[in-house]
Amino acid sequence: MSVYEDIAAIVGEERISESNLDRICYSHDLAPLPDDLLKGFGATKPDVVVRPGNLSHVADIMKYASGKNIPVSPRGGGSWGLGGVIPVGGGIVLDLSGMNRIIEVNIEDEYVTVETGVEWKRLTNAIKKHGFYVGACPTSAPVATVGGYISTGGSSGIGVSQHGPLGDHIISLKVVLADGTVVQTNPWDSWVFVGSEGTLGIVCEATIKIFKKSKMKHMLFGFDSLDAGLEAVIKLNEINPYYFTIMDDGFIRLLKEKGSQLPESKMILSITLNDMDGVQEEKEKIIESVCRGTRLSDDMAEEEWENRYKTALSIKSLGPTLLTQEIRLPARFLGQALSEWKTVLKGKRFAFKGVCSDNGAINLFPVVLTDERNKNEFIKTLSYTREIARIGRKYNGDVYGIGLFNSNQMTDIHGKSLEVMKEIKMILDSKNILNPGKTVESPIPDFFLSFIFTLMKHATPLFAFLAKSVNRLPDSFVNNASKFLKGRK
Ligand SMILES: Cc1cc2nc3c(=O)[nH]c(=O)nc-3n(C[C@H](O)[C@H](O)[C@H](O)COP(=O)(O)OP(=O)(O)OC[C@H]3O[C@@H](n4cnc5c(N)ncnc54)[C@H](O)[C@@H]3O)c2cc1C
C-alpha cells in the first residue's frame, strides 16, 4: 500500500491530500526563500499533507512514520518567517490547525486547556468573556497557533515583559514523540519542548495559566532624538509594562506611506499598562518622567493598540518582498547594534521595529524591503541576513529562532551546546524523522554554506545560475541526496 493509503486508513480520506496544489502550498511558509534556494537545502514538496483531527491520529501517524523512516514536519498557522515548517526531504506535513478545541476554561484555578491548533486570538476572545487574559501572546495572534508559539519559544510579544515568557505559564503539555509515544509533562519538563521548533515532539494539548483582566492604559511617545528614545527603552525595562513596541524613523516613514497619521519622529514608543498590581497610576507617572519626548494623544495611543496585530506586515506591499531577521538583544546594546546595522544596510530600503521580550531584552526586526522577482538583487539582499545576525551576536544578542532560514548559522548560534542538543535529539528522535534539517543539523555542511553566502554576495549571477540548475533536479533525486547526507536509508 502507498503512504497515502496507509495514512488514509488512520485518519480517513477527507483528512489527507496528495494533490500537487496542496503539496505546493504546504512547501512554504511566510519566509521569502526562493524555490531555487530551497531545493539546494533539500527542501521539496511533501509527499502527502495530513490534517489530523485528534491526538490519537497524531500518535498513530508517528508510529507509522517511525516504522517506515518517513520525515514528518509539524505545522500550525505557518506564520513564522523562518521556514520552520518547510519539509526538508519531503515526507509528511502534519497540519495541526484543525485540532483547535478549547477543552476547558477553569476560572477557579485560573487555567485553560486547549488543543494546540487553536489560534491565539480565538483563545484570548474565549477567555475574555470570563474576565481573563493570557500572559504571553504573539502579535500574529489571528493566525498563529498555541502549538506554533510554544514551539518557537514564546518569549517575544504581548504580555511577555510583565509576565515572562510563555514557558513560565505552561502547567502541562501532551506531546506525541517521534515513535508515537504520548507523554504528559509537568511545568518543568515542559521546557524541553518550548522553542524546540517541532524537532523533539508534536505538542498536541496545552494547559496554560491565565490571568485576571484589569483596566488597560495605552501611552504613545514621539522622540526628536534616537538617543532619548533608547534611554527611555532601557528605563522601561525596569518598570516592566504589560507591553511595549518601538518604531524607528524609517518604520514611521513607511507607515506614513501607507496612510498612517503618526507624526514624523526619530522614534515612537507605544506602551500598554494593566492594573493587575494596582499601581498603574504610579507606573504611568514614572513612564512620563523617563520618556523625555512628546506624549501623543490617548486616541492615537488607543489606535496603536487596536492595530497591534496589523502594524508589522502593513508595510509589506511597499516591497513587495519583506526580508527580516528577528534579533533578541539586551536593550542597553540597542543603540550600538542599530548604528552598525544601518551601516551594513546602507543603500537598501530598510527600517526597524522592536517588540518587548523578557529579562530586559528587546526583539528587534531589521526589515529590508526588496522584490523577489528581481532574482539577483534579492539573493544579494538575502546574504545580508547573516551579517545582521553576526552584529546581533556581537552585542550579546542572537537570532530569535532558527528554522531553515538561519540553519546556515547553527554552529555560531549554539556553540558547544550544539553537541548536547544533538544528544537530546537522538534520545527523543533517534531516527531523525521529526522536522529534519532544523535546530541541530544544517541540511548543508557549514564550510560549504560559508562559501555559498560568499557567492551570494560577491558572485550573485553565478550563484543564481547554480541554484536554478539544482532546482531543475527531480524531487526524488534531491530527497534521496538529503537522506544520504543525514545517514537515513
Ligand atoms: C505579523 C507577524 C507578527 C508576529 N509577531 C510575533 C510575536 O509577537 N512574537 C513571536 O514570538 N513571534 C511572532 N511572529 C512569528 C510567528 O507568528 C510566531 O512564532 C507564531 O507563534 C508561530 O505560530 P504558527 O502556528 O504560525 O507556527 P508555524 O509557523 O506553523 O510553525 C512554527 C514552528 O513550530 C513548529 N510547530 C508548529 N506547531 C507545532 C506543534 N503543535 N508541535 C510541534 N511543533 C510545532 C513548526 O514545525 C515550526 O518549526 C510574528 C509573525 C508575523 C507574520
How far, in Å, CA of 230 to CA of 340, rounded? 15
**What does the pLDDT read at residue 26?**
95
How far, in Å, CA of 121 to CA of 353, rounded? 22
Name the phi and psi angles at 349, rounded to 5: -95, 100
Q: Quick check: CB of 139 below 6 Å from ligand 1?
A: yes
Grid cell at residue 275: 492594573
Closest atom, ligand 1, to C-alpha of 75: 30
Q: Quick check: CB of 80 below 6 Å from ligand 1?
A: yes
Which tens digit of pLDDT belongs to each residue from 328-374? 999 999 999 999 999 999 999 999 999 999 988 999 999 999 998 88
Contact 354, 310 (CB under 8 A): no
pLDDT for 485 beyond 70: no
**What does the pLDDT read at residue 139?**
96
**What does the pLDDT read at residue 489?**
43
Closest atom, ligand 1, to C-alpha of 435: 47
Spell out the domains of the chain, with CATH numbers in brackets.
1-96 (3.30.43.10), 100-212 (3.30.465.10), 216-399 (3.40.462.40)
Alpha-carbon dihedral of residues 398, 191, 208, 199, nearest 10 degrees? 80
Q: Which residue has the higher pLDDT, 453 or 353?
A: 353
pLDDT for 27 beyond 50: yes
Which tens digit of pLDDT belongs to each residue from 91-117? 999 999 999 999 999 999 999 999 999
Provide the pLDDT confidence category of residue 389 given band limits of 50, 70 and 90. very high
pLDDT for 483 beyond 80: no
Provide the pLDDT confidence category of residue 287 given band limits of 50, 70 and 90. very high
Q: Quick check: CB of 437 below 6 Å from ligand 1?
A: no
234: left (phi over 0), alpha (psi -120 to 50) or beta: alpha
Mean pLDDT of the chain: 92
Q: How far, in Å, from the CA of 3 to the mean position of ligand 1?
A: 28
Which tens digit of pLDDT belongs to each residue from 179-188? 999 999 999 9
How far, in Å, CA of 173 to CA of 326, rounded? 27
∠ CA 229-401-488 to the nearest 5 degrees? 170
Sorted by sequence, the CB contacts under 8 Å of residue 148 that are 6+ apart come out as 76, 77, 79, 80
Which tens digit of pLDDT belongs to each residue from 146-168? 999 999 999 999 999 999 999 99
Provide the pLDDT confidence category of residue 459 given band limits of 50, 70 and 90. confident
pLDDT for 488 beyond 60: no
Say whether pTM exceeds 0.85: yes
Q: DSSP string spanning 115-172?
A: ETTSBHHHHHHHHHTTTEEES-B-TTTTT-BHHHHHHTT--BSBTHHHH--GGGGEEE
Q: Quick check: CB of 229 below 6 Å from ligand 1?
A: no
**What does the pLDDT read at residue 443?**
66
How far, in Å, CA of 312 to CA of 341, rounded? 19
Closest atom, ligand 1, to C-alpha of 96: 41
Rg (CA), the chain: 22
